[in-house]
């Protein structure tokens, strides 16, 4: 069954600053460190417990390179790059 509405949860300003620093300072440079991966997983785990999230959006091209499993902290990870590519291929195959 498809939910009738989708709600989003954002991270705190402090966590947002940490994500930005990790993204720009490491991921954009091609550095995919285990400690950073574990910190991202811990953050998603906290959101799962505190905000009861049902999934996490990996909304940057580098995030799926760091978080390579379909589940992160027990919730589905939505890889926006893969989703966009799949939609493009589908449209091309349909001739649109």
Note the residue count of the chain.
96
Residue 48 and residue 87 in contact, taking contact as beta carbons nearer than 8 Å = no
Give domain limits for the chain: 13-93
User: pLDDT, tens digit, for every residue of 42-87?
Assistant: 999 999 999 999 999 999 999 999 999 999 999 999 999 999 999 9
**Between residues 26 and 4, the one the model is more confident about:** 26
Residue 58 and residue 20 in contact, taking contact as beta carbons nearer than 8 Å = no
pLDDT at 3: 60
| Nearest-angstrom CA–CA distance, 25 and 69 | 23
Q: Which alpha helices (H) appear in the chain, and where do they start and end?
A: 13-25, 34-51, 63-66, 80-93
């Amino acid at each position: 069954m498809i939910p009738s509405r989708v709600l989003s949860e954002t991270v705190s300003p402090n966590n947002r600053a940490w994500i930005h620093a990790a993204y720009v300072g490491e991921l954009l440079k091609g550095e995919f460190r285990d400690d950073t991966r574990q910190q991202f997983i811990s953050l998603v785990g906290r959101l799962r417990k505190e905000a009861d999230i049902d999934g996490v959006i990996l909304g940057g091209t580098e995030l799926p390179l760091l978080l390579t499993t379909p589940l992160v902290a027990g919730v589905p990870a939505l890889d926006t790059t893969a989703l966009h590519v799949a939609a493009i291929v589908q449209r091309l195959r349909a001739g649109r």
